[in-house]
Structure formats: C-alpha cells, structure tokens
Amino acid sequence: MFLFLVCVIFACGSEKKSSDRNMKKDLKQVVDGSKIYKRYCVSCHGMYGNMGTSGAFDLTKSALTIEEKVGVITNGRKLMTAFKSTLDEEEIKAVAEFTESLKRK
Ligand code: HEC
C-alpha cells in the first residue's frame, strides 16, 4: 500500500512538473503587456498612449493606480470597450502595468 502511494505521488509529481512548465511558457507569452497593448489598445490610445482616437484618454497623463486601470480595462468606461471577455486577469494586469511605462516617456 505504501509503495503504491509512493508510485502515485511520483507519477503525479512528474506529470505536474511538465504541465507546470507548459503553464510557465503560456504565462510568459500572456504576461507581455506591450504585445497586448499593441494588439488591442493602439487603435485608440496610439503607440505612445497619447493619440486620443474617439476621445481616448491620454495614458501618458493618467493618474490612475494599477488597480484603477485594471478596473477601466476590465469593465470599460464610456467609449472604451470592456476587455473582460477578450483578456484574462493576467493579461489585463500586464497591460495595465505596461501603460505605466508610457507615462515615464
Ligand atoms: C475603442 C477605443 C479604445 C480602446 C480600444 C482602448 N481604449 Fe482605453 N480609453 C478609451 C477612452 C475613450 C477612454 C476615456 C474614457 C472616459 O472618458 O471615461 C479610455 C480610458 C482608458 C484608461 C483610463 C485612463 C485614466 O487615467 O482615466 C486606461 C487606463 C485605458 N483606457 C487603458 C486602455 C488599455 C490598456 C487598452 C487596451 C487593452 C485600451 N485602453 C483600449 C478608448 C479606448
């Protein structure tokens, strides 16, 4: 019985490791906020965050915290579309963090 358990644990263990590795790979792609920004946000906010198509907020002047940005991106605001059905939490967080880098430029 003990041996059996050990086998099960080992089997699970190695399986988990390989799926963890895959997860990490996915995560790495997912967490690239600049890619997400270029794909979904540039059309309104522009490459540098200040293009302002359809009244888009100048992100270089945004005073929102990451949490507040996550809120705007998740649920949208006025003309800005909500991204909760397009992006997952991780992606929204990553792109919110990316917009911080626009500010410093
Ligand atoms: C359809 C055009 C459009 C797209 C696409 C868009 N936005 Fe916006 N965004 C807007 C508009 C318009 C506002 C201003 C909303 C308002 O006046 O309340 C805004 C506001 C914001 C704000 C709030 C800024 C502040 O300080 O109040 C953030 C952050 C933001 N957008 C980030 C993003 C990110 C990140 C993406 C890509 C995932 C994105 N937006 C895609 C139009 C867009």
Considering the domain boundaries, does residue 71 fall inside one?
yes
User: What pTM, to 2 d.p., does this model score?
Assistant: 0.79
Closest ligand 1 atom to residue 98 Cα is 35
Q: What is the pLDDT of residue 54?
A: 80
The rounded Å distance from CA 47 to ligand 1 centre is: 13
Which residues on adjacent β-strands are paired with residue 80? 77
The rounded Å distance from CA 21 to ligand 1 centre is: 34
Which residue shows structure tokens 């967080």?
93
The count of domains in the chain is 1
80 vs 40: CA distance, rounded Å = 11
The b/e string for 22-41 (b: 16+ C-beta within 10 A; e otherwise) is eeeeeeeebbebeebbeebb
Q: Give the mean pLDDT of 80-90.
A: 96
**Torsion (CA) 22, 26, 29, 30 in degrees, nearest 10:** -160
In which domain, by residue range, is 96 found?
A: 28-104
85, pLDDT greater than 90: yes
The rounded Å distance from CA 82 to ligand 1 centre is: 9
Considering the domain boundaries, does residue 73 fall inside one?
yes
Considering the domain boundaries, does residue 23 fall inside one?
no
